[in-house]
Structure 1
Amino acid sequence: MTILLGIILALLIFSVIVFFHELGHFSMAKRFGVKVDEFGIGIPPRAKQVWKDSSGTVYSLNWLPIGGFVKMKGEEMNETGAHDKDFLAHKNFLEQSTVILAGVIMNFFLAFLIFSVLFMVGVEPLGINTKFQTSTETKLIPSFDEAVRIGLVKTDGIILSPLTGSIAEKSGLLDGDILLSIDGKTILSPEDMIMKVKQSTTVMNFTVQWSGGIRTLLITPEDGKIGSYVGHNVTEIRKD
């Protein structure tokens, strides 16, 4: 049943793609005055003539529900009346090229539309927290915080790295300093530090640990920033 549904779905998707492709040819042919004899869904033989418009175009459903087609006057080299104004062969090079390329352009437009909708609506990521039946059990971790929470990554404090010429560097912060506390309060995550700095407009006491011991720095943020990279001080990554 799963295989059958897969085949049906594949045929349906293929038919939608072909429909928009042929719709591109059809719309440009109509735009430039090319006579369209038939616009069909599926592959002949014809099952039903659905409608016939005032220009004589037949809209049909066909027995083989795969794709579709557009039959235009003048697309066959052996057709008589090639000089008739409603023949494709009678149109200038630009108009003929537009009619021929319109199918591909329409497919690009369809792809753009689909991906735009997916981007706006959002889709669930595949493989997150999913176990695959293989010789090795695998688990995908969606974020660094999740890796820390389940013990795959071990950290010890917050590591800092000041930007050249920044407030942090001018205040004495060194690359690799481990942040212990700000104004006497322990900082547990980079987010905690960023939030605390953003909320401060006065001098702050940064207690940091370095190879020579522990020291306290006085740093005054500007516009909620001190000019330093901040991240978890990773001490161990489990590979089992």
Structure 2
Amino acid sequence: MSLHLVIGNKNYSSWSLRPWIAMRVAGIPFEETVVPLGDPGFKATVGPHSGTGKVPVLIDGDVRVWESLAIIEYLADKCPEAGLWPADRVARAHARTIATEMHAGFAALRTALPMNFSRQPARPVLSDEVKRDVSRIEAIWRDCRKRFGTGGPFLFGTFGAADAMYAPVVSRFQTYDVPVGAEAAAYMEAVAALPAWVSWRDAALRETWVYPNDEPDGPEVPRIDT
């Protein structure tokens, strides 16, 4: 039985993007079902598979795994050949550490700058809390690239679980025109050039759902033409 990933809207669901792009870049085959976050039947559809009643959730036969990072860890165990985590013990420990930091932190950034691929890039006023989150993320990226990134353009050289966890941040920084340094900009360009990223983005831009809670400037914000 093939893996089945249940996700939310590609325009808005940052947590769904994480395991989706990890699987696509790693070449792990799966089927996907998109359940719109605002669908009246959302809980009825997702609830039987997810303990939290939220997406994403991975279905593998009788196994149900929810929470993005838990899904990635499950996939790393099931498909070790995919190389989702670095082979080197020190690099792997660091990758897991920063992935967990992403999973648990950066609340100010998440709240102020929700993922929204269809919003025309424009910079809002950033609070000091958001600026601190941005600064910390840039520091993480710089440190990873310096210490572990010699084998390619991603945090640990080749694209892996840590990059997947930070992929929605790349989208946020682009959408809200967040100023970053040259190293962060180069890393973002590498992520945005991935065929998997382009596929997700194009699907997000084709979606027609608009949710005010994910439109901090209001639903009338100019959107990218498709």
| Structure with larger Rg | 1
TM-score above 0.5: no
Shorter-chain TM range is under 0.3
Q: Which structure has more helix as a fraction of its residues?
A: 2
TM superposition score normalised by structure 1: 0.24
